[in-house]
Amino acid sequence: MKYQSLIALSCILFICLGCKNESAQMNPVLEVESVQTDPLPSWNEGNSKEAILAFVTKTTTEDGPDFIPEADRIATFDNDGTLWSEQPMYFQLAFAIDQVNVMSTEHPEWKTQQPFKALLEGDMKTALAGGAEGLLPILAATHTGMTTDAFEKTVKDWMATATHPVTKKHYNEMIYQPMLELLHYLRAHGYKTFIVSGGGIDFMRPWIEQAYGIPPHQVVGSTGKMKYEMVDGKPVLMKLAELNFNNDEDGKPIGIHQFIGKRPVFAAGNSDGDYQMIEWTTSASGYPRFGMFVHHTDAEREYAYDRDSHIGKLNKDWMMPPKTIG
Amino acid sequence: MKYQSLIALSCILFICLGCKNESAQMNPVLEVESVQTDPLPSWNEGNSKEAILAFVTKTTTEDGPDFIPEADRIATFDNDGTLWSEQPMYFQLAFAIDQVNVMSTEHPEWKTQQPFKALLEGDMKTALAGGAEGLLPILAATHTGMTTDAFEKTVKDWMATATHPVTKKHYNEMIYQPMLELLHYLRAHGYKTFIVSGGGIDFMRPWIEQAYGIPPHQVVGSTGKMKYEMVDGKPVLMKLAELNFNNDEDGKPIGIHQFIGKRPVFAAGNSDGDYQMIEWTTSASGYPRFGMFVHHTDAEREYAYDRDSHIGKLNKDWMMPPKTIG
């Protein structure tokens, strides 16, 4: 039922990330032309690419039956695993772990306190054994009890210095070239691009404008409670150790409604946490809608994972029929 | 102390709304020129207008010492009493009362249930006697227990038909011409204009884009909790009778941080509920900042009120020294 209604209203795509534009290389006669005119040069030729090009063309063709006015061209993108990598762990968790090490000199009590003790000893298995709930003390210690300004500076400093354990690249270099091209292509056609991520909004905003060309007010994410207070005669926003909003699963359509206020016509994700966002987007009537899933199938150049992964699990029934195309 | 620090970093303005451009009429030689070049023709000549023009000019002059890059030109506006009228009662309350009358045929129990009974009998004094808390049943009955789509339609229908009790204009015609000019002037100079209102976000968004040229994702307001659920095989967002976020007073800087993610350089309000937004805006370092208060002083053409008003009370100590200018 669900599967039917979604397919009827949208194109569900599974794309292979990081694939080279091999067709252009195989046909040098076409190369010059494709460099100049292909808005998605890093995408393999195939159904996925064709579907995107066809959708954008028809929705921006004035007087056409599928035309969408510019004000309603809302495109939403998950971040972790959709725009940048999320392996071997969410990068925000890598940030938190790095911060525990930085902050440990001011917290001698962590030497005997779990999960900090295990983490400081490099025993990741024990540190992460408690699952999401077990991580809360780490997130609270590294993300709250400070002002928003102080946290922003910490994130910027970390992003400028920390590197990915496997690639040794800075984390904001771990973004997907095909998706950058897609964001740019949509914006060049009057689409407004938004991030709709389960990640922390305060963790994303300090670097996302530079990385993706998406301004902070077009970033929707999870938020904590905060308090407006005076410190030394100046107002600050103090980050409190209490979740305000979890922008994942059911939370994504709610976050979209509260932050964006319009239903997207284009949505892209990569995991079960994005299911409701894509369902919400593609089940609306009126305009044509486009739902897209990034399927991680390239273990050589990135990571291959879906239903068995502890991160970015992609296991919903309707997604699993063999529809890998392109 | 507070007063000093605010004044040092900003221009606090008290403007007279709806005043005619009398200086142009007194000097016909200048009239043609002023019609063509004056971006704020409805504003009285004077300190307020000069301060605005000077601020926008200096912050958009490249290579000048006060230049602000376009990405950081964030301007926030309160709505009730700042962009449109709020007398004799908040228009959202007028909407709620109208809806009680419309919905009463389906709610026979309201004939004996306060505050509905008094309201249906036209006894506003009794109906509103319970203050803000007494209004909660009315707000819950008229704003929740329905989908976001259904509520949006209700607001649109009401806006197209309901009229103000005194002026008989539609409510979305009760907006201030000088403020429309200011919004337009700021946007023409690369500023992004946002609403930051205590009003309900779902009440504002259906009409604000048309009225002010501000898209839904640039509207920050109070929100209720909602639930994502399936109805007849289609997903809906159901509005629940529980407050999620009160975007007023201390809530305004928090709403600004969570929705916009950057600190404004320009903020305008008209009441004590806007104090913290303007404090947050004008106390930041780095760029020049502009804080502005609309003071309602024209009882003939609109309403005159401040410290004794039950709506839009303007009573903070630092605002009350006689600084009415222009």
A148 touches chain B (CB under 8 A): yes
- Residue percentage of chain A with pLDDT more than 90: 77
Q: ipTM of the predicted structure? A: 0.88
Token readout for B194 is 């946002």
pLDDT tens-digit profile of A303-321?
A: 998 888 877 888 775 554 3
The answer on pLDDT for A298 being more than 80 is yes
Segment among A177-191, A307-321, B39-53 with least mean pLDDT: A307-321
**Mean predicted confidence (pLDDT) in B77-99:** 96
Nearest CB to A257: which of B192, B237, B262? Answer: B237
Closest Cβ–Cβ partner in B1, B218, B228 for A254: B228
| pLDDT at position B308 | 80
Closest by CA position to A223, among listed A249, A206, A241: A241
pLDDT band with cut points at 50, 70 and 90 for residue B317: low
Contact call for A217 and B280, based on CB within 8 A: no
* pLDDT tens by residue, A240-282: 999 999 999 999 999 999 999 999 999 999 999 999 999 999 9
User: What is the residue-wise DSSP string for A208-246?
Assistant: HHHHHS--GGGEEEEEEEEEEEEETTEEEEEEEEEEEE-
Instruction: Kindly determine whether residue B253 and residue A237, on different chains, have CB atoms separated by under 8 Å.
Output: yes
| B234 contacts chain A (CB < 8 A) | yes
Average pLDDT over residues A207-225: 97
Report pLDDT digits (tens) over A45-92.
999 999 999 999 999 999 999 999 999 999 999 999 999 999 999 999
- Is B77 a residue whose pLDDT tops 60? yes
Query: pLDDT digits over B201-219, tens only?
Result: 999 999 999 999 999 999 9
**Mean confidence (pLDDT) of chain A:** 87
**SS in 3 state form for A116-146?**
HHHHHCCCHHHHCCCHHHHHHHHHHHHHCCC
So what's the pLDDT on residue A247? 96
Query: Residue B282 half-sphere exposure, CB side, CA atoms within 13 Å?
Result: 25
Spatial distance between the Cα atoms of A190 and A71, rounded to a whole number of angstroms: 8
Q: Quick one: what percent of chain A has pLDDT higher than 70?
A: 86
Kindly state the average pLDDT of the residues A285-297.
93
Q: Given pLDDT bands bounded at 50, 70 and 90, which one contains residue B36?
A: low
Model confidence at A18, pLDDT cuts 50, 70, 90, reads: very low
**Phi/psi at A274 (nearest 5 deg)?**
-100, -5
What pLDDT does residue A141 have?
A: 96
Q: What average pLDDT does the structure give for chain B?
A: 87
Average pLDDT over residues A144-166: 97
Phi, psi of A195 (to 5 degrees): -90, 135
Is the pLDDT reported for residue A38 higher than 70? yes
Interface test with B, best of A257, A277, A283 (most B CBs within 10 A): A257
pLDDT attached to residue B326 = 29
C-alpha distance from residue B113 to each of A134, B100, B119 (Å): 49, 12, 10
CB half-sphere exposure, B288, CA atoms < 13 A: 18
Hey, which residues 180-199 in chain B have their CB within 8 Å of chain A?
A: 192, 194
In the sheet with A219-231, reading across from the earlier edge strand, the strands are: A14-15, A290-294, A266-269, A74-77, A192-200, A219-231, A234-245
Q: Does A261 touch chain B (CB under 8 A)?
A: yes
Q: Mean of the pLDDT values across residues A186-205?
A: 98
Q: Which residue of B has its CA nearest to A3?
A: B233
Higher pLDDT, A182 or A15: A182
Question: Which is more confident, A212 or A15?
Answer: A212
φ and ψ of B38, to 5 deg? -80, 115
pLDDT of residue B30 exceeding 70, the answer is no
Return the pLDDT at A36: 59
Give me the domains of chain A, ranges plus CATH numbers. 2-85+175-319 (3.40.50.1000), 91-161 (no CATH)
Give the whole-angstrom CA distance, residue A249 versus residue A272.
Answer: 7
Q: With 50 as the cut, is the pLDDT of residue A15 above it? A: no
